[in-house]
Structure 1
Amino acid sequence: MIRIRGTVGGYPVALDIELDAQDWTQLGGLVSLQTSSEPEKVSRPVGPEKTRADPFWQLAQQILQQAGTLAGPALLVQLETLTGNTQAAKQLMVRLRHSNEVVVERSSDALLYRWQGSEDK
């Protein structure tokens, strides 16, 4: 038996599903479980490889480089327009903040992102 409890909107829901042996066998045939002794290794680009592979990252750098200096909210708006996603735009801002080419300064209103390029700071 499977029990599902929760809410839908403001209404409480309690659902019991009973399966006999044949139902469980049918369900097991639809689901194939991987029973390998070693976990599957996933290859993800890290560090510079990720930077080169991410077109939004390159464009985010170009936006800031062309502007020279941008306030955080203005940069966020431009990155949201670029990515079409607030979360992705915020992730790009974090990457810019930690980049060697960008200096982040505090002003009275917001953080200022300033492009430094490859110059020594």
Structure 2
Amino acid sequence: MLRIKGTIGDWPVDLSVEMDDADWARLAQNLPTVAVAPSAQVAAQPAAAGPADKLWLAAQDLLRRSGSVEGPELMDELEALAGSTGAAKGLLVRLRHSPKVKIEVRDGVQVFNWVEE
């Protein structure tokens, strides 16, 4: 589920959107692509994987190698990886909803933790 809170002009917005794996895949296809240094996990993927898939795998690998990262720091790293704030936000949302990631709040800051299955 994706939750969007904010305002449009003076109107408050609180919107929840449920997305299945196919929806996430379509969203990922629209993310900008950048060249990414291959890691063992990315290199092990089939050659048919598209650029958005490789970016998603690289984002997962980044968190997996770190083990645990505070949200603002992770956002900075994803922005450097993806090449734009918008693409980084998309990756952050995907990580937030991944079964391999657990989020805890420490002193008001979200901490993303990689959880091996």
The TM-score bracket by the shorter chain reads 0.5 to 0.7
CA 106–80 in structure 1, closer or farther in 2 if over 3 Å, else same: same
Percent identical: 36
3-state SS of the aligned residue for 1:46?
helix
In structure 2, the CA distance between the partners of 1:92 and 1:49, relative to structure 1 (3 Å rule), is closer
The structure whose RCO (Cα within 8 Å, separation 6+) is larger is 2
Map of 2:112 onto structure 1: 113
Number of equivalences: 74
Aligned to 2:75: 76
In structure 1, the residue corresponding to 2:92 is in which secondary structure?
Answer: helix
Q: Which runs of 5+ in 1 are unaligned?
A: 1-44
**Bigger Rg, which one:** 1
- The equivalences for 1:1-121 within 5 A come to 46=22, 53=50, 54-118=53-117
Please list every run of 5 or more consecutive structure 2 residues that lacks an aligned counterpart in the other structure.
1-20, 29-48
Please provide the CA RMSD for this pair: 2.2
Amino acid at match of 2:115: Q
Structure 1 residue aligned with 2:31:
none
**Deviations 1:42-84 (CA, angstroms, capped at 9, x unpaired):** xxx9268667541110000000000000000110010000011
- What is the distance in 2 between the residues matched to 1:48 and 1:96? 11
Kindly report structure 1 stretches of 4+ aligned residues shifted beyond 4 Å. Answer: 47-52
When normalised by structure 1's length, the TM-score is 0.55
